Amino acid sequence: MIVTVTLNAALDITYRTPELIPHSTHRVSEVVERPGGKGLNVARVLSALGHESVVTGFAGGRTGDVLRELLAGCGPEGSRGRPADALVPISGSTRRTLAVVDEASGDTTQLNEPGPTVSSGEWSAFLATYERLLTGADAVALCGSLPPGIHVGAYAELIRRARAAGVPTLLDTSGEPLRRGVAARPDLVKPNADELARLTGSREPLRAARDARRRGAHAVIASLGPDGILAATPDGLWQATPPAPVKGNPTGAGDSAVAGLLSGLVEQLPWPARLARAVALATATVLAPTAGEFDAEAYEELLPRVTVTEHPGP
C-alpha cells in the first residue's frame, strides 16, 4: 500500500472555453470536477497503474463533502481508479482550484484558492491517522503546500516518523517546507527547476541536484518541464526526455511523474525504468483533456520512446 499525504487538498474544477480573451464574457463548453491536490492526483494515478493506494490529509465543509463523494465514485475502493479515503475531517472548508482551458491555443490558466486554517487538535488527529497508516505502508508521498495553521516543519516531522517506521518517503513541496524536509533525509525529493534553484541558490540543474543531495535527500528528481526530468541518485545521474514537445493542460503532470517514481520504487525497478515511466506519465497527463488525469493510450505509446541518458561523473 502506498500512502499519499495532501495537507491542502482541493476540489479541482476544469472549464473549457473555445477561446480565452481577457476582459470579455465567455461561454463554457464543458465543466469537470475532480478530487484534487497533489497527493490525491498521485494516488489516483497509482490506482490506475494497479497499485493499492490510500489518501490522507484534511477535508472540510461542503467542498470537502463534494471532494469525498467524487473520490468514492472513482471505482471499487483500493482497486484500479479509486484510492481509499483516510482524509481527516476539519471545521474549515476545503479549497477549490480552477483551470480554464483555452481550446484555441491549448493553454491553461490556473486559479488556486488558499486553504482552510487547521487547528492544533485537527493536526493531532491527522498525526494519529498517519501513524496508523504507516504500519501497512510500502511508501509515503508528502505532497503540496501547507494550509494555514500547520507549522513549516510539518513535512520534516512526517519524514522522521516514516523513517522511524522504516517506510521510504517522497517529498514534493517548495520553499521553507522543502528546505526543512530535505534536512530530515527523505528518500526522494521532486522539485521543479525553479524550486531547486531557490533551495540551493544554483540555476544549473545538475549542480543544484547534487547540492540538494548533500543537504540530506537520498535522491533528487528535478522536473525540467518539456525537457523531462533530471535524476541525481546514489546509483548515478540520468536525464529522461519525452520523444517530442506536446501542447495541452499541464495540471497534474508533476503528480503523475511522482506516481511513476513511487510505483517504480515499490516495484524495485532500476532507475532508468522508473524515470521513463515518470516522463511518459507526465507527458500523457498533459495530453489528457481533464486536469489530474492521464491518457492511458498515449502513456503506452510514449513509454518505449522516452530517452534516458546517463551523465558521466560521480
Active site residues: 255
The 3 state secondary structure assigned to 262-285 is HHHHHCCCCHHHHHHHHHHHHHHH
The 3 state secondary structure assigned to 5-50 is EECCCEEEEEEEECCCCCCCCCCCCEEEEEEECHHHHHHHHHHHCC
Residues 59 and 89 sit within 8 Å (Cβ to Cβ): yes
**Residues 6 or more apart whose Cβ sits within 8 Å of residue 200:** 207, 208, 211, 212, 215
**Residues 6 or more apart whose Cβ sits within 8 Å of residue 289:** 16, 249
151, 156, 160, 165: CA torsion to nearest 10? 80
Round to whole Å and give the CA distance between 202 and 312. 20
Q: Are strands 229-233 and 236-241 parallel, antiparallel or unpaired?
A: antiparallel
Q: Which of 48, 49, 54 is nearest to 274 (CA)?
A: 49
Residues 40 and 53 sit within 8 Å (Cβ to Cβ): no
Taken in order 253, 174, 63, 130, the sign of the CA dihedral is positive
